[in-house]
Structure 1
Amino acid sequence: MPRIHPNFPVSDSPASSNSSITAGDEPAVLTVWQKSLLLDCSGFTVYNAKGNLAFRVDNYSTSSLNEIVLMDAVGVALFTIRKKALNPFNFSTSTQRFTLTDQWDIYEGEGATPTRPCFSASKQFSLLRSKSLAHVTSLGAAAGGTLDSNYSVEGSFSHRMCAVYNGMQQKVSEIRPKEVVGDVTFGGDVFSLLVQPGFHCALAMAIVILLDRMFGPRASWITG
């Protein structure tokens, strides 16, 4: 197996800055590995540009992933992503199309009964070709009031070529194939996540998880 990260997966410090808002003039470059560090788990392992562990997702159940917890390097829950009940088909005579909405809620942290999500995400399946994959709607300020915005995702997740845009159509994060290192090539389970300055790295990764559930091989309905 090619080496995905240069360092042993240990965080820099308990108060890692990888989950915070990016700063500086250059985007943060993360390497996303669609594999859990734990045996018999499915999930994600994410490394920063220095090769240190940034985020992790460990799920023991592979058959039903309707609740997913995104953690930082030391296991602190950052976001809990929960699937909502599937909506029935909706037919619109004005646009002559029907849609099936796959909806998820994003909560801060982890709790048994969180009362209010900070984001709601939806996938729109349409018979008409569209570059739009999903929408993430803010339900109130989160993470210190820094995430109070709406986002759209465009591109192709299956080809690992898609981007997240804010309400002003500014690109805030981007998924790209992992660059070839020497003679080593990477499959689709290893890819790059670029997060622009001023955007929250943890939210960018939460959106990656949503796209995997909506369009990945374990998607609960129609994949794209």
Structure 2
Amino acid sequence: MQKLGVVDSWVVYEGEVMKGKHGTRKNPICCVRKHTNMLKLLGNPNPNVKAYVYNGGSDKRYAYAIEGSYAQRMCKVLDETRRVVAEIKRKEALREHVSFGIEIFHLVVHPGFDPAFAMALVLLLDQM
């Protein structure tokens, strides 16, 4: 992962290929841009968006939107058709008076979505 500039934007790479003295990066897997409050002021149609995920290095059309509150461990990753592909949920106790705290949560990955990619998004959300 690499954070870019003053804008809350990260580029995710699969890894690095070592060629020569300084190494060469592979093409990016995705770019993640944090939603800013300024968009809300400009009439953003969905103020619940935490971040947008773009395929590769492109920023023309997002592939996924992350909605909800990562701080509360309640958010969803939605594809461009608004289908939920992954979710972060707080772990709830089956018995009364048991608290797991905010750091214990479930990452639910729906069929067809890459679990490693879902975990990479969790790591990015933790940095936001």
- Do the structures match in fold with TM over 0.5? yes
Cα deviation digits, residues 73-107 of structure 1 (max 9, x gap): xxxxxxxx211112xxxxxxxxxxxxxx3000011
Q: Distance in 2 between matches of 1:181 and 1:114?
A: 46
Superposition CA RMSD, Å: 2.0
> Which residue does 2:10 correspond to in 1?
104
Q: Distance in 2 between matches of 1:202 and 1:156?
A: 21
Offset at 1:109? Answer: 2.8
Offset at 1:136? Answer: 0.5
Offset at 1:125? Answer: 1.4
Structure with the bigger RCO (C-alpha within 8 Å, sep 6+) is 1
Any gaps of 5 or more consecutive residues in structure 1? 1-80, 87-100, 141-148, 215-224
Offset at 1:195? Answer: 0.3
1:139 lines up with 2:50 in the alignment: no
TM-score where L is the length of structure 1: 0.46
Query: In the alignment, which of 104, 110, 116 is matched to residue 196 of structure 1?
Result: 110
Question: 2:14 touches 2:26 (CA, 8 Å); kept in 1?
Answer: no
> Which residue does 2:123 correspond to in 1?
209
Query: In the alignment, which of 121, 124, 132 is matched to residue 35 of structure 2?
Result: 124
- Percent of aligned positions that are identical: 39
Any gaps of 5 or more consecutive residues in structure 2? 18-22, 42-46
Counterpart amino acid of residue 105 in structure 2: F
Aligned length: 112
Q: Distance in 1 between matches of 2:24 and 2:89?
A: 35
Offset at 1:181? Answer: 4.4
Superposition map of 1:14-163 within 5 A: 81-86=1-6, 101-111=7-17, 112-127=23-38, 128=40, 130-139=47-56, 150-163=63-76
1:177 lines up with 2:83 in the alignment: no
Cα deviation digits, residues 157-181 of structure 1 (max 9, x gap): 1111100001111100000001214
Q: Which has the higher helix share?
A: 2
Structure 1 stretches (4+) deviating beyond 2 angstroms? 109-113, 181-184
TM-score where L is the length of structure 2: 0.78
